[in-house]
Amino acid sequence: MKMFKEIMSWVIPIVVGLLVALLIRRFVFTMVRVDGPSMEANLENDERVAVVKTVAIKHLSVIVFNAYRVDPDATSKNVKYVKRVIGMPGDTVSSRDGQLYVNGKRVNQSFISQFERTQGTGDWNLQGLSNKNEWSIQTTKVPKHSYFVLGDHRSVSNDSRYWGFVPAKKVLGVVKVPFWDTSATKRHNVNAIGY
């Protein structure tokens, strides 16, 4: 009996600790690895970032979402993309001469370089993109419960310009660069510029 009590004195704290960790991971935050160059220079390939599930999504928030059945090329159920929210539900979104416009107002894109803003961005609006790419939703505005997302490195990003909108139910959370990352600029450009 004494041995049983001693064993349980370390088993119970370990089990409780594991349960708490699982609950935090499921409902509060988790860590993910960035795969690919589409969010450079703010997020690098193979960088690990936190995904916080309790933070509200805003314009310019960086999010992680499950891309399965969002991007037709994402054939695995576990493919996750990291992108920046440009359009919220009900917004109009367009691009002209390397400038983004949301609801007719120019978006401050100081979080990326002039090269990243202009190379590969193109001139478009939602109706033109939906017609050109034959989206199932033909629209001039971001639909309810959906987001229009772009990668920061526009010339290499596979994003909403090609496959359309991200349903809110597919979003896993908002990306936060951890405090131990040495780049204050990167932390600001990912963590602090949503509006």
User: Which residues make Cβ contacts (< 8 Å) with residue 155, sequence separation at least 6?
Assistant: 116, 119, 120, 121
Contact 43, 188 (CB under 8 A): no
3-state percent helix, strand, coil for the chain, nearest multiple of 5: 30, 25, 45
Whole-angstrom distance, CA of residue 60 vs CA of residue 129: 20
The catalytically annotated residue of 61, 80, 83, 94 is: 83
The catalytically annotated residue of 2, 5, 9, 38 is: 38
176 belongs to the catalytic site: no
155 belongs to the catalytic site: no
Total residues belonging to the chain:
195
Q: What residues are labeled active site? A: 38, 83
